[in-house]
Amino acid sequence: MIIRTRGCGMPALLLSLVLSAFFCASLGAEETREKEKKPVVQAVVGATVLPVSGPMLRRGTVIWKDGKIIEVAAELAAPEGARVHDAEGLYVCPGFVSVVAMGVGIETSSGNIGNGLNPWDRELTIALANGITTVQVLPAPFFGGFGQDGPLYGGSNSAVIKLTQGDLGGMLVKEPAMNYFSLPTRQLELNYFLLRERFKQAKAYLAKRAEARAKKATEPKLSSSLKLYVAVLENTRPTVFSPANNHEVKIVLSLSREYGFDAVLNEPKDAWMMAADLAAANVPVLVKSRGPDFDFNTTGPLFEKGQMAPVRRPAAFVRAGCQVSILPYRRGISLAGLAGRDLATLHIDAAFAVRGGMSNEDALKAITLNPARTLRVDDRLGSLEKGKDADLLILSGHPLDYRSFVLKAFINGKLYYDREKSRIYREIPLTGDK
């Protein structure tokens, strides 16, 4: 670019050179910004990859772009220009999914959880350092967050969140996540009658509402006592029951068949004796694999009268064909400040299930894909598959080996935990280190 001015020689030429340099620099900066806008392709190569949804891959490769997995295969070279993470001799698997966590990352006891999420919660770091990338959170650190309605205990909100530290935008996956029911242990037959009556009323309300909407008329008023029953019948999310005994399990199965909603059983203890019925009804179960059982309604040794140790229950349900998700072990009431520490041993809980008869594959599925299915987010999470979110772990050993450490944790394709840069576990030597 040359600028010509009358009566000026060198000054005009100098000005033209300056303007040319500025113009070129501007173009260079614009090109840099454009490059930065383009999603960076990343790849983990050389690892033993455990996709969960398929067989183990020796010297496997996982490739992702813009937060989504685009390829998972063995002996696959990384694309040219990709950011490569060399995982030779290491393991790669999906991020762990905890189907429940009390109080992690939230600063509210009721209402909309999305408005109370705290992306800087220290407990998120503890959980993430141990491989947890997704949890369902409940705002009930003590006994609060639940409103009593006869035989129904509801009113608690829940949400599925990712443990994206400091990144509120990528944190919330789904809200609300589940409905919660609790069947009382007294006057079972009477309560069953009351439950059926409430469901009948809720069904009648939905019919009247549908009629009003078809006629574009004013919708009938919904009483507060029927809100959760209506939510259950709408079946937009699964409903969790915590049966105290197998009679209550039968009540749940009967109600779900009659009214067509999806039920989930939380810690159904002796229900392993009915596992075949649960499998036939496609009812998922949430179980612990360790810890004592405080069942004051039974007497005698552990294996008398059908009792089964917690370590053996997950395998019993799996053998019957049930979808099993392993719960984190809690030593009593889980306070908000201890929730992250509860989650820290979820992979150890899965390893206990292996000790009780589960295969490694089923145990890993019980803390990844199965919880994602139960929470209805398996289209995005729970396994390493093309099109799913790039939530994955690089580990020093097998994920169910208590000696293994999470080295790196990616959520939505972004590195959120790096052992070398974190204060958690950094000073503990890896197995084999001198």
Quick: pLDDT tens for 394-424: 999 999 999 999 999 999 999 999 999 887 8
Burial class (CB in 10 A: 0-12, 13-18, 19+), 49: buried
Is there a domain that residue 350 lies in?
Answer: yes
pLDDT of residue 386: 97
Is there a domain that residue 344 lies in?
Answer: yes
Residue 2 in this model has a pLDDT that exceeds 80: no
Sign of CA dihedral 297, 300, 303, 304: negative
Instruction: Give the chain as a 3 state SS string.
Output: CCCCCCCCCHHHHHHHHHHHHHHHHHHHHHHHHHHHHCCCCEEEEEEEECCCCCCCEEEEEEEEECCEEEEEEECCCCCCCCEEEECCCCEEEECEEEEEEECCCECCCCCCHHHHECCCCHHHHHHHHCCEEEEEEECCCCCCCCEEECCEEECCCCEEEECCCCCHHHCEEECCCCEEECCCCCCHHHHHHHHHHHHHHHHHHHHHHHHHHHCCCCCCCCCHHHHHHHHHHHCCCCEEECCCCHHHHHHHHHHHHHHCCCEEEECCHHHHHHHHHHHHCCCCEEECCCCCCCCCCCCCCCCHHHCCCHHHHHHHHHHCCCCEEECCCCCCCCCHHHHHHHHCCHHHHHHHHHHCCCCHHHHHHCCCHHHHHHCCCCCCCCCCCCCCECCEEEECCCCCCCCCCEEEEEECCEEEEECCCCCCCCCCCCCCCC
CA atoms of 162 and 189, how far apart (whole Å): 41
What average pLDDT does the segment 352-360 reach? 94
Percent of the chain having pLDDT more than 90?
50
Is there a domain that residue 55 lies in?
Answer: no
Residue 333 in this model has a pLDDT that exceeds 50: no
Total Cβ atoms within 10 A of residue 23: 11
Q: Please list the residues that pair with 162 across neighbouring strands.
A: 134
What average pLDDT does the segment 251-276 reach? 91
CA atoms of 95 and 122, how far apart (whole Å): 19
In this prediction, residue 4 has a pLDDT band, given cuts at 50, 70 and 90, of very low
pLDDT of residue 281: 96
Is there a domain that residue 256 lies in?
Answer: yes
Residue 25 in this model has a pLDDT that exceeds 90: no
Phi, psi of 54 (to 5 degrees): -150, 180
Residue 335 in this model has a pLDDT that exceeds 50: no
In this prediction, residue 47 has a pLDDT band, given cuts at 50, 70 and 90, of very high
- The structure tokens 């099109």 sit at 387
Percent of the chain having pLDDT more than 70?
74
| Domain extent for 312 | 92-384
CA atoms of 109 and 144, how far apart (whole Å): 7
Structure tokens that stand for 7 in this block: 């009566």
Is there a domain that residue 7 lies in?
Answer: no
Is there a domain that residue 81 lies in?
Answer: no
Closest C-alpha to 179, from 115, 236, 108: 236
CA atoms of 314 and 215, how far apart (whole Å): 50
Give the model confidence (pLDDT) of 165-203 as tens digits. Answer: 777 777 889 888 888 877 665 555 567 788 889 899 999
Is there a domain that residue 120 lies in?
Answer: yes
Position 417: which residue type?
Answer: Y
Q: Please list the residues that pair with 12 across neighbouring strands.
A: none
CATH code for position 324: 3.20.20.140
In this prediction, residue 21 has a pLDDT band, given cuts at 50, 70 and 90, of low
Residue 294 in this model has a pLDDT that exceeds 60: no
pLDDT of residue 428: 80
Give the model confidence (pLDDT) of 194-252 as tens digits. Answer: 888 989 999 999 999 999 999 999 999 998 888 888 989 999 889 998 888 888 899 89
Radius of gyration of the chain (CA): 27
What average pLDDT does the segment 304-308 reach? 54
Residue 16 in this model has a pLDDT that exceeds 90: no
CA dihedral 103, 161, 321, 344 (to 10 degrees): -50
In this prediction, residue 268 has a pLDDT band, given cuts at 50, 70 and 90, of confident
What average pLDDT does the segment 314-331 reach? 90
Q: Which residue has the higher pLDDT, 344 or 336?
A: 344
pLDDT of residue 300: 47
Among the ranges given (28-32, 118-122, 238-242, 424-428), the one the predictor scored with the smallest mean pLDDT: 28-32
Task: Answer whether 289's CB lies under 8 Å from 353's CB.
Answer: yes
CA atoms of 320 and 275, how far apart (whole Å): 6
CA atoms of 246 and 270, how far apart (whole Å): 7
What average pLDDT does the segment 266-294 reach? 87
Q: Which residue has the higher pLDDT, 27 or 86?
A: 86
Structure tokens that stand for 331 in this block: 């030593």
Among the ranges given (48-57, 131-140, 366-375), the one the predictor scored with the smallest mean pLDDT: 131-140
Residue 120 in this model has a pLDDT that exceeds 80: no
Position 344: which residue type?
Answer: A
CA atoms of 100 and 249, how far apart (whole Å): 21
pLDDT of residue 318: 96
CA atoms of 56 and 53, how far apart (whole Å): 9
Is there a domain that residue 171 lies in?
Answer: yes
Give the model confidence (pLDDT) of 130-156 as tens digits. Answer: 999 999 887 654 333 333 343 344 445
Q: Which residue has the higher pLDDT, 361 or 117?
A: 361
Q: Which residue has the higher pLDDT, 168 or 267?
A: 267
pLDDT of residue 155: 43
Total structural domains within the chain: 1
